[in-house]
A = this chain, B = another copy of it.
Amino acid sequence: MITGKNYIGNQLSAIGNKTFKTFNPLLNIENEWEITEASTNEVNQAAKLASEAFKTYSKISGEKKAVFLRAIAEEIEALGDDLLQVYSSESGLPNGRAMGERGRTLGQLRAFANHVEKGNWVDASIDTAQPDRQPMPKVDLRKMNVALGPVVVFGASNFPFAFSTAGGDTAAALAAGCPVIVKSHPMHAATGEMVSAAVIKAAEKTGMPNGVFSNLNSSGIEVGQALVQHPNVKAVGFTGSIRGGRALFDLAAKRDEPIPVLAEMGSVNPVIILPQALKNRAEDLAKIYSGSITLGTGQFCTNPGLIIGIKSEGLTNFVNTLAEEIVKVEPSCMLHPNIAGAYESNKANAMSQSGIKVLAGYNEDVKPNYARQVVTTVEGNTFLNNPILHHEVFGPFSLVVQCENKEQLEEIIINLEGQLTGTIISDDDEIRTFTSIVNALQNRVGRIIFNGVPTGVEVCPSMLHGGPYPASTDSRFTAVGVDSIKRFVRPFSYQDWPNDLLPIELKNENPLGISRLVNNVRTTSKI
C-alpha cells in the first residue's frame, strides 16, 4: 500500500501540507497516489536521527551490515510484481527493463554485502612500534577506513531502482557504515516509498538503529537544498543533470564545513570511428549505433550522443546507413512529460544551430511522451566553434561530426568536456597509428572502449563510472562497483592504542584473517 508519506527513520510521517502526484507517461495521466512533501521539521528530524544512528551503525561489524544489505534485497524481491507495476506506471519503462533493473539493484546490494562481510575492504595498515629507534622512538600506528557520516542520496529520474532509493549510492553508503537519507525523485515517489518500506522492514528485522534510513519526498528543490546544507550531513550522492549536480556541489562548497558531493552528471560519450573501420564496415557500425542511440529511449547516461570520423567514402556510407536505420526504430516512451518536453526543446535548439544538418529523424505521429529519434551531422570546424553542440541532448539524439583530417579530429577531442566514456572503433592495427588521438581521448574520459558501444555499464570491481568534470564532480571516484564505497569513508589512524580497544580489523590477533599491510608487507598473519 502506498501512503504518500515520508519515512523519518522507521516512522511514516506527513506533517507538511504540500502534495503532488506522479505521472504515468504511457497512459499520459496522473497516477492516483497523493505524495506529501517533507517539511523543514521532517528534514531536521531525519538528519537528527541519522546522526544518532551513526553513533552505533558506524561501528557495527561487516557481518551485520552484510545481513542488513541482504535483507534489503530480500524485502525488495518480496514486493514482487506489485513493485514492478508501480515502477512502470511511474516511468513508462517496460516490465522487462523493470525486472532487469531490479536484478541489477539486488545484485548491487548483495555485492556490497559480500564486499564488507569480511574486513579486507577497510585497507588495514599497521606499523608497529620501535621503542629503541634512534634518534626518536617509533610509535605504533594503525590505519583503516571508517564511515564518513550521514549521506544524502538523490534518486535519479532514469534509474528508479538502480540509482535511486536502494540503488548503488545507498548500498555503498550503508555498506560503509553511513546512515542514508534519500531525497526521493519526484517522478517515481511511489516506487521510492515501496522500496523504502522494504529497507525499513529489513532494518527493523536485522536490528539496525532507527534513523539508519529515511526517505523524503519533494517535488521542488527546497528539501534537497536543506539536506545538502544540514550540518549533520557529511556527503552527498547524486545522479542527474549537470545543472542539478553543479547546484548541489556549489551549495556544499559554500557550507561552513564543505562536504563532498559525488555527482554523476552529463556526458555525450564520444565515439571515434577510425578510417579503416569506416571503409570496411560502415554499414554494420551504423546498424549497431542506431540501436545504441535509441536504447532505452536514449535515456542512459552512456548514450552515444557524439560520433566523430574523418571525411571519406566510408563516413558517407556510415551516415547514410545510420539515416536509413534510425528511422526504422519504433519510438518509445520517455520517463515523464517534462523529460519529453526538454528533449524536444533541446533537440530543436541543437538542430537550429548554424551548420547542423539533419540526417534523418522519425517523422510519423507518435503518442504523447514518446520520443522521435534524430541523427544530425556537422563539419568539424563548425563543431569546434560552437559549444552548444558539445552539450548533451538527453534522449535518442546523436550528432555525427565530419572532420577534415586527423589533426582536426585530435583538436576536437582535446576540446571536449570531461566524459563518462570514450569509444574507439578501429580495424585491426589501425589504432596503432592514432596514438595521440587515443591519449587525448583518455584524458577526457573515465572509461575507454575498444570496438564496442558505451551503453551497458557492467557492475564489477573494474568498472569506472565517472570521469573528468562535468561527467562527475570528482574523477577520483567511481559511482558503480564496490569501489564506490570509497566515496563515503575516510582513513583513520590509531596511535599506540590498546590492542583490546582497537577495531577488530586492526587487532594483533587479526581475528578476521584479513589481508593487511604490516610494516610494509602484505599479510594475513597475526602480529
A487 vs B477: C-alpha distance when bound (angstroms): 11
In the complex, chain B residues whose CB is within 8 Å of the CB of A517: 461-462
- Cβ distance A438 to chain B, nearest Cβ, rounded Å: 8
Which residue in chain B gives the minimum CB-CB distance to A54? B443
- A260 adjacent to chain B (CB < 8 Å): yes
Q: With A449-B496, A469-B258, A501-B431 as given contacts, are A475 and B490 in contact (CB-CB < 8 Å)? A: yes
| Contact (Cβ within 8 A) B418 A493 | no
Q: With A258-B473, A450-B498, A492-B442 as given contacts, are A456 and B143 in contact (CB-CB < 8 Å)? A: no
A517 vs B123: C-alpha distance when bound (angstroms): 14
| Contact (Cβ within 8 A) A483 B476 | no
| Contact (Cβ within 8 A) A127 B461 | yes
| Contact (Cβ within 8 A) B451 A141 | no
Contact with B along A383-424 (1 / 0, CB 8 A): 000000000000000000000000000000000011000000
Indicate the size class of the contact surface on chain A: 35 or more
* A 28-60 contacts with B by CB, 8 A: 55, 59
Which residue in chain B gives the minimum CB-CB distance to A498? B450
- A250 adjacent to chain B (CB < 8 Å): yes
- A460 adjacent to chain B (CB < 8 Å): yes
A507 vs B284: C-alpha distance when bound (angstroms): 30
- A134 adjacent to chain B (CB < 8 Å): no
A302 vs B125: C-alpha distance when bound (angstroms): 22
| Contact (Cβ within 8 A) B501 A462 | no
A17 vs B272: C-alpha distance when bound (angstroms): 48
| Contact (Cβ within 8 A) B461 A520 | yes
Q: With A250-B253, A492-B442 as given contacts, are A125 and B461 in contact (CB-CB < 8 Å)? A: yes
- Cβ distance A331 to chain B, nearest Cβ, rounded Å: 24
| Contact (Cβ within 8 A) A447 B258 | no
- A241 adjacent to chain B (CB < 8 Å): no
- A247 adjacent to chain B (CB < 8 Å): no
- A165 adjacent to chain B (CB < 8 Å): no
| Contact (Cβ within 8 A) B127 A458 | yes
- Cβ distance A94 to chain B, nearest Cβ, rounded Å: 15
- A139 adjacent to chain B (CB < 8 Å): yes
Q: With A253-B253, A431-B498, A515-B522 as given contacts, are A493 and B448 in contact (CB-CB < 8 Å)? A: yes
Taking a contact as CB atoms closer than 8 A, the residue among B463, B491, B515 that contacts A476 in the complex is: B491
- A257 adjacent to chain B (CB < 8 Å): yes
Most chain-B CB neighbours within 10 Å: which of A126, A462, A470?
A462
Which residue in chain B gives the minimum CB-CB distance to A428? B498
- A478 adjacent to chain B (CB < 8 Å): yes
A41 vs B442: C-alpha distance when bound (angstroms): 29
22 contacts between A and B (CB under 8 A): A127-B460, A127-B461, A139-B452, A141-B462, A249-B258, A253-B258, A257-B468, A257-B469, A257-B470, A260-B474, A447-B492, A447-B493, A447-B495, A448-B495, A450-B494, A450-B495, A450-B496, A462-B493, A463-B493, A464-B493, A466-B490, A476-B487
Besides A250-B253, A450-B494, 5 more A-B contacts (Cβ < 8 Å) are: A141-B463, A146-B442, A253-B253, A451-B496, A462-B517
